[in-house]
Structure 1
Amino acid sequence: MRIGQTSFIVFISKLGGSAIGFLATIYFARVLGAEVLGYFALALALVTWLTVPSGAGVVGVGAAMKKRMSEGTDSGEYLTASLLIVGAVTVAIVSTVILLGDYVDAYVGRPVASFVAGLLAVQVISEFTRDILSGEQKVHISGLLTPVKISGQSLTKLGLVVLGFELTGLLIGHAAGGLLVGIVGLYFVSSEIARPRREHFESLFEYARFSWLSGLKNKSFDDVDVLVLGVFVPSALVGVYSVAWSIATFLTLFDTAVSSAVFPELSKADAEDSRQIVSKLVNDSLTYGGLIVIPGLFGSLILGERLLRVYGPEFTQGATVLWILVFASLLYGYQKQLMNALNAVDRPDLAFRINLLFIAANVVLNVVLIAAIGYVGAAIATAISAGFGMVVSFFVLRALLSFSIPHGEIVRQFLAAGLMAGIVTAGLRAFEAIEFGYNIIVLLTLVSVGAGVYFVTLYGLSTEFRSTVVANSPVRIPQRLR
């Protein structure tokens, strides 16, 4: 797997930062409660959706810039053209949020409109900077910015919450981390500002008119359920749901790292008309897309209630939601790899149509199921729409590329996870039999043992996984262990 080292660097970077955020969220949940976290989740959901305005929006232009810069020609011109477009669109959206501030405040339930406007500007700066680095094929640097961002956010939030600022502290802290990423990331940008020509703008818009919906699709998967929940359920339940989502998202770090590392390589191979390499990279991305989420699904079924208990007693009601969201994340992870390939081979038109279907299904299912059965319906709607999107994405990409589904590798990952689940279940029953009362020790012990069993078993079962570990290991592994 040629992109193994890059994927691992991105993954470790995201893991370090997310671990800090994970611990910080536990503290905020125990100190502030589910209701305040619910207000915070609704404000962030608004921000993330507002970064995808109609037409050739911020996310669409960022994706187009990343694609065109990765092709290796006129990088400075594409950077400048994108900067002009994104700047103008962002100013317009921020101004609109300020003008409609009363409606924003009424929806969230707290006076947060000015924070939403500021967070929107900061998030655009952060995402745009990372798109530049990805376009320059500096995915490893872009990945290293994740712990910088989350650490900055978490530390600032902690300080402000300790001082008693509660929701305001969470919002200001979130903005601080994003701004830090923008500043640090710009230091590593090597492309220089250059005067763009009309064809550079036209090329960006040609790609962005389709790719912006891909960004909307990502926001739809992450946040449409939270936005709809804000209409139908109390803020406290939104907070419980958002905590379950944060755990599921934590498990998707590796598949996100894989797609980030694969995209520039896919784009370059496609530009060189190396279809065999493109097919191999698609196969690799599917092989490793569920590497972490598959055991995470088993773990969430067995330990979900105990894990949520760490956040506080009121969060344990989200145990069912948790495993459904992890399952949805697994399906969406595979869809993400397929859609990543579609965009990389310069077929944003097909990705556009798939994304349109995905978004429509997700929105409709969320409204119907949340209204019918409450916040569990949001998780079910997300899982169904992710499965639908995965199937459609597969057939569309299969019509363009000849690639194989790594059935054997995926089955071996499930087998290793199944063995892990059996041992973890036995360990849990042993702890319960002796009435061991320290929940955090039980969790840490079982998660550590489970992870060890999973990876050791997979290393023994899978020649592909074994070869990947050997090829990308920083130390030489003795022949007898291969």
Structure 2
Amino acid sequence: MAGTDASMSAAESPAASGHAPSAQETAELARGGRTSFLGYVLRLAARFPFLFIAGRLYGAESLGRFAYATMVVELVAMLATLGLKRGLAEAMAARQQDQTHALYDALLVSLIAALLGAALLIAVPQIVFPTTEYAALERWFPLIIVAIVASDVSLAGLAFRFDIGATVRARSLVEPWVLSAAALALAFTALKPDGLIIAYLASMVAAAAASLWPAFRRFGAPSGWHPRPGVLWLLARRNVALAGADIAEWGAHRLDVFILGRFAPPEIVGIYYIAQQIASLPQRLKSSFDPILAPVLATNIAEGRTTKAALHIRQIGFWVGAAQLGVVLALGITGQASMGLFGPVFASGALILALLLLAELFAAQAAVAEAALVYVARGRNLMWSAAGILIQAGLSVLLVPRYGGEGAAAALAAAALILSVGKSRLLARLLAHPVAGWRWSLLLAGAPAFAIGLLFLQTPEWVQLGFGQWLVLAVFCAIIWRFGFKGADRLLFARSLRKEFPEA
């Protein structure tokens, strides 16, 4: 997977490829990534207060119960979306003169699927709450799937029009801050036993409203549109493989919680959930590029420009790898101090956090490669994803009963590494160009940052959190900027295209 910086530079040069992507196109990816990254930072600022509130005021057991219930409804919501979070870009690209109708077709077919999924969970509430009793309100909890699906599809349609700001507002401002505020307020009321669930309901409804309204404003009312069963069926059938890939990718990050919930008490699940939420922060760096990467890749691949697609994959892969590695080092080395922030009982999850961070690092390249595979080899991509799920499930069943949360995290890391290698090689073969975004400069920057982090482990936890994490990140960023970011790499931080490329 790794390649030298020199070979990467040669591969990315216009002379070498003969079909280099335009500077404007690369800048569009960078601009969309910057906008989404701002949303990531804002979401991070709200996510940590929620985890702190949940850990300190509700406890590990309540948090574990919440984690399992939301995992189930989000799984069904992902299935009900029918792959349209990414597949809608392809549908709109094929219906350039009919994009509004394409959006409403997607909304209708996904909402039908959402209602069917919610009905199943309402009929069998033990799927959502397997080890604990459930109240009357909680039985109807799965209806939130409708709001989740409506939000996801609306934001996918807006992303095709390069409106990433709507995603930032809905997912990084409205949803997490409503969740944190509601959880804090309910913790001091008689509703505290169901406080986390109610807070989640409020946040998802608010996010749906913040998604649907800008979509309606941009696309307008469905003038002349009416449901056509044949079109809806074709849309759903065409996205079956993509939906399967979405489920497999999402499931790879939730299967561990599902299996752990079957073998361990809610308290262990709660500790694992906190570690998972911290570890998922680097993963969200990759997802920052998803809204803008999908339409760019869909357009290039539809027009046969596979060389451009490969170059974009490599560029995004390096950006994501550089951002993730710095965060992984900063959070992983001081894992015990980071986990202890949410309560003394959570500090025991330091090893779980380290393994989950390693899994996210392995999974980054597979996730970036899949962004193109869903357009050029949906079936084979789904097969690889299914294989990864089976590997993870087998290892989890073997390791979790003996090692608990550490076993679940180790199984996830192993499966992520296998998928990363397999999907990257498959995409490179299909596009006939290298796609790996890893470079030796990542190791050059990571080694001294790791060494500094080890030194800070000898200091009190408040020093590790207040100074150690930031120094590790600063050293990594300084070295990777000086020796790793060259030419188009720096577009990610350029305020304008002409600032870095005056000739563009």
Q: What's 2:219 paired with?
A: 191
Alignment root-mean-square deviation, CA: 2.6
* Cα distance change on mapping 1:461 and 1:406 into 2, 3 Å: farther
Structure 1 gap ranges (5+): none
CA distance, structure 1, for counterparts of residue 315 and residue 350 of structure 2: 32
Determine if contact 2:329/2:472 at 8 Å carries over to the other structure: no
Instruction: Give the aligned partner of residue 67 of structure 1.
Output: 90
Deviates further, 37-46 or 81-90: 81-90
1:410 to 439, 442, 449: 439
Give the corresponding residue for 1:136: 161
- Give 3-state SS (helix, strand or coil) of 1:236's partner: helix
**What corresponds to 1:447 in structure 2?**
469
CA distance in 2, matches of 1:115, 1:292: 40
User: Would the aligned equivalents of 2:245 and 2:382 in 1 still touch at CA under 8 Å?
Assistant: yes
Tell me if structure 2 keeps the 8 A contact 1:68–1:135. no
Provide Cα deviations, 1:335-355, integer angstroms capped at 9, x if missing partner: 110111112x34322222222
* 8 Å contact from structure 1 (residues 104, 113) kept in 2: no
1:209 corresponds to 2:240: yes
Q: Which residue pairs with 2:188 in the alignment?
A: 162
- Counterpart residue number, 1:363: 393
The answer to whether the Cα contact below 8 Å between 1:52 and 1:59 also exists between their aligned partners in 2 is yes
The aligned residue for residue 306 of structure 1 is 337
- Between the aligned residues of both structures, percent identity stands at 19
Name the SS of the counterpart of 1:162 in structure 2.
coil
Equivalent of residue 92 in structure 1, options 102, 110, 116: 116
**Cα separation, 2, equivalents of 1:65 and 1:247:** 30
Q: CA deviation at 1:441?
A: 5.0
Q: What's 1:40 paired with?
A: 66
Structure-2-length-normalised TM-score: 0.86
Letter in 2 for 1:350: R
Counterpart of 1:50 in structure 2 is: 76
The alpha-carbon distance between structure 1 residues 109 and 298, as it changes in their structure 2 partners (threshold 3 A), is farther
Q: For each residue in 1:138-185, what CA deviation from the matched residue of structure 2 results, as whole angstroms up to 9, or x when unmatched? A: 234323322221112211221112335334111111121221121122
C-alpha distance in structure 2 between counterparts of 1:313 and 1:109, whole Å: 27
Deviation at 1:234, TM superposition (A): 0.9
Q: How many residues in Structure 1 have an aligned counterpart in Structure 2?
A: 467
- Looking at structure 1, the residues matched to 488 and 232 of structure 2 have their Cα atoms a distance apart, in angstroms, of 46
Q: Provide the secondary structure at the position in 2 that maps to 1:9.
A: helix
Q: Which has the higher contact order (CA 8 A, sep 6+)?
A: 2
Q: Residue 69 of structure 1 aligns to which amino acid in structure 2?
A: M
User: CA distance change for structure 1 residues 353 and 99 in 2, over 3 Å: closer, same or farther?
Assistant: same
Unaligned runs of 5+ in 2: 1-25
Residues 338-353 of structure 1 aligned to structure 2 (within 5 Å) = 338-343=369-374, 345-353=375-383
Find the residue that maps to 1:311 and give its secondary structure.
coil
Q: Which amino acid aligns with 2:147?
A: V
Give the match for residue 180 of structure 1: 206
Q: Deviations along 1:311-338, whole A, 9 cap, x unmatched?
A: 1111111111101100101111111101
Instruction: Out of 250-259 and 375-384, give the one that drifted further.
Output: 250-259
Q: 2:450 aligns with which of 414, 421, 428?
A: 421
* Pairing 1:318–2:346 present: no
TM superposition shift of 1:248 = 0.5
Per the TM alignment, residue 474 of structure 1 is displaced from its structure 2 partner at its CA by: 5.9
CA distance in 1, matches of 2:159, 2:62: 35
Task: Could you list the structure 1 runs, at least 4 aligned residues long, displaced by more than 4 angstroms after superposition.
Answer: 196-199, 474-479
- Whether the 8 Å contact between 2:325 and 2:446 is mirrored in structure 1 is yes
For 2:89 and 2:82, how far apart are their aligned partners in 1? 11
* CA apart distance, 1:24: 2.1
Distance 1:297 1:61, change over 3 A: closer
